[in-house]
Amino acid sequence: MATPTHHQNSTNLTKKKKTLKNPEANFLFELNSCSKSKDLKAAISLYESAISSKTRLNQHHFNTLLYLCSTFATDPHSRDLALQYGFRVFDHMVAVNIHPNEASITAIARLAVAKGDGDYAFEMVKKLGDYQVTPRLRTYEPALFCFCQKLEAEKAYEVEEDINKMGLSLEEPQIAALLKVSADTGRGERVYSYLHKLRRSVRWVSEETEKILEDWFCCKASEIGSEGAKYDVGLVKEVISRNGGGWHGFGWIGEGKWVVRKGNVEPNGRCCCCREQLDCVDIDDEETEKFAFSVAGLAMEREVKANFREFQDWLEKNANYEAIVDGANIGLYQQNFAEGGFSLLQLDAVIKEMYTRSGNKWPLVILHKKRVRALLENPSSRKLVEEWMDKGVLYTTPHGSNDDWYWLYAAVKLRCLLVTNDEMRDHIFELLGSSFFLKWKERHQVRYTFLKGALKLLMPPTYSIVIQESGKGSWHVPIVCDSEEETSRTWLCITRPGDCEDGGKTCEIVDVPCLKSAISEAGDPEILSSENRNHENSDDKTTSMTAEHDCDAASATP
C-alpha cells in the first residue's frame, strides 16, 4: 500500500482546518441536506446545535429553516413542531437584524395561516415595503386563501386591492377563490365581476373552478338579475361588437332560475345544449386602435417615414379590402429546390380563392417593388401582374423597406383577414407584446398549404375557445380537456329558461357530441336538480340541472 506523501498530508490538513474554521458552511451543507430529504427534526436539531455553538447564521440559513417549517405546517404529525420553531426562527432572524426577504415573508405567512391567522399573514406582507422588498403573488396567497375559506369576503377583497396596487395579476386559483367567497356570501355583482376576470385570464377553467361556477348558478342567490336586468337589445349587440365579440359587461341579464348543463360545441360553433352560436372573439376597438398605432410607430422607427406615411394615406382612401395577402410568403412557399423561384401560380390561386370567398371582392397583395419589377420584366408573368395592378390588387413597397410592416398594419387597421404562413415570431413582432397579439392572430390569420399543386386554405376558427357571455345573458365556459379534438371538449352551458331553441325545456347532455337525452313520458327531458345531482353515479357524465337551493351563508349576508 502506498504511503501518503508529506505534501498530501499537508493538503488534507489544510482542508480540514478550513472546514473547522467555517462552521457556517458546514451548517449550510447539512441544512441543505435536511431540506432536500424533507427532514424537519434533523434540521431543528442542527439549528439548536448552531445556537449552542454560537454559529453565525445568515439570511439563507433562516430562509431554509422557515421553508421547512412552512412545508410541515399542514402536516398533522409535525404541525405543532413546525409552528413552534417556525415563529421562533423568524423572531431570531429579526432579533439579529437580518432583514426578511420575499421568501422569508411568504414562509411566515404560510405558518400564520396554518394556525388560522390570516390577519397576521397579511400584516407581514404589508411590512415588506419597510425592507424595500417587492412581494410576489405567492406572498399574498396564504392570507387571501385564508380569508376566502373563512368567508371573510371584505378582508379577501382588501388583499386583492393590495395585489392590484403592486401591479400583480391574479391567476385562476386566486380568482376562483374570490369568486367562491363572493358566491358563498351571496354577492352576485362580485361573482359577475370575477367571472369576467376569469374570462380575461384563462382560455378554459379547471374542473375545480367549474364546480364553483356550477354551485353558484344552481343556488337561489343567483336568480336575481342585475339592477335593470333588461337592456336594450340593440345596445347590447352594439357593445358586444365593440368588445370584439363574446361579452358585453352590462351585468346579469334576465331573472329567475338558471339552467346549467354540460355538453359539447359543434365544429361550426353551435352549442349542443342551447343551440346558441358562439363567437369568434376578436380584440376590442380600443385594443385594435392601440395595436395599429404600435405597429405604425415601430414601422416609422425602422422604415423611411415618408414611405410609410404615404402607405397610411393610401390605405385611408382604399379601405374596402376584406383580406390582405403576404405576396412574398406565398410566392416563395416550398420553392427551395433547384428550379424553384417565385411561384406566380401559387399567388394567383390564393388571390382567386380569396376573391371568391369574399363575394367577388379582390384582396390586397403586398409585394416588394423589386419583386414586381422582376415579374413585369418576365414576358410569361407580365400580363397577369398588369391585370392585378389594373384591378387594384397590388401595393408595391419601396426599396429598402420591410414589407412585413405593411401587410401587418393593413390587416390590423382594416380589421380584415391576413393570408400568410408567417408565424410572426421575429424580434420585430416581439416588440409588440403578446397581451392581445395572439388573440388577434387567431381571429385574423389565414394559413395555407399546397398539396400536389392544389390550394387549401386554413381559415380562422368559427368560434373561440374562451369563456363567452351572450347578448341574451347566457354563459358558455370551456373546461380543461386532455384531448386534442376540440369537439370532445366539455363546456358548461348556463342559460335562463326561455333562451334555448327548444323553448326553455331543460335537456340532458351526455358525454358524446350533441346527443340530447330521451324525452320522458310527460314530454319533458329528465332534469337533475341541484339537490340530487351530487348523489348521481360519478361515472355518469350526464349533467343537467336547475337552480333549486340557497348558497351556503348567502341568506346571512345583507
Grid coordinates standing for 230? 333588461
Phi, psi of 26 (to 5 degrees): -60, -45
Look up residue 417 and give its amino acid.
Answer: L
Asked whether the beta carbons of 352 and 345 are under 8 A apart, the reply is no
**DSSP state at residue 493:** E
The pLDDT, as a whole number, for residue 28 is 86
Distance CA 276, CA 534 (A): 27
Asked whether the beta carbons of 172 and 202 are under 8 A apart, the reply is yes
The more confidently predicted of residues 410 and 256 is 410
Residue 131 has pLDDT above 80, yes or no: yes
Query: Tell me: the pLDDT tens digits for 495-518?
Result: 988 665 544 444 333 343 454 433
Instruction: With CA atoms as reference, report the closest residue to 271 among 257, 261, 258, 283.
Output: 261
Least confident of 129-133, 416-420, 445-449: 129-133
The pLDDT, as a whole number, for residue 227 is 58
Asked whether the beta carbons of 160 and 134 are under 8 A apart, the reply is no
Q: What is the DSSP string of 535-548?
A: GS-TT----EEE--
What is the signed CA dihedral for 525, 531, 537, 540, rounded to 10 degrees? 40
The label of the residue with cell 482542508 reads: 15
Grid coordinates standing for 48? 439548536
Distance CA 526, CA 316 (A): 57
Look up residue 111 and give its amino acid.
Answer: L
The pLDDT, as a whole number, for residue 511 is 44
Distance CA 394, CA 369 (A): 10
Distance CA 299, CA 413 (A): 14
How far separated are the first and last CA of the chain, in Å rounded? 88
Looking at the chain, the number of H-run helices and the number of E-run strands are 22, 11
Burial class (CB in 10 A: 0-12, 13-18, 19+), 357: middle
Query: Tell me: the pLDDT tens digits for 71-125?
Result: 999 999 999 999 999 999 999 999 999 999 999 999 999 999 999 999 999 999 9
The pLDDT, as a whole number, for residue 520 is 28
Instruction: With CA atoms as reference, report the closest residue to 196 among 215, 179, 177, 220.
Output: 179
The pLDDT, as a whole number, for residue 439 is 86
Least confident of 149-163, 235-249, 475-489, 525-539: 525-539
Residue 8 has pLDDT above 80, yes or no: no
Query: Tell me: the pLDDT tens digits for 450-484?
Result: 998 899 999 999 999 999 999 999 999 999 998 88
Residue 285 has pLDDT above 80, yes or no: yes
Distance CA 79, CA 410 (A): 62
Residue 12 has pLDDT above 90, yes or no: no
Asked whether the beta carbons of 441 and 419 are under 8 A apart, the reply is no
CA angle 378, 383, 388 (to 5 degrees): 115
Give me the chain's average pLDDT, please: 85
The H or E element containing residue 469 is: strand 468-469
Distance CA 371, CA 386 (A): 14
The pLDDT, as a whole number, for residue 6 is 53
* Paired residues of 366 in beta bridges: 326, 395
Asked whether the beta carbons of 121 and 113 are under 8 A apart, the reply is yes
* Paired residues of 100 in beta bridges: none
Q: Is 364 helix (H, G, I), strand (E, B) or coil?
A: strand
Rounded to an integer, the average pLDDT of 22-31 is 86
Rounded to an integer, the average pLDDT of 155-181 is 97
Look up residue 36 and give its amino acid.
Answer: K
Q: Is 366 helix (H, G, I), strand (E, B) or coil?
A: strand
Grid coordinates standing for 235? 345596445
Asked whether the beta carbons of 275 and 507 are under 8 A apart, the reply is no
Count other C-beta atoms under 10 Å from residue 29's C-beta. 11
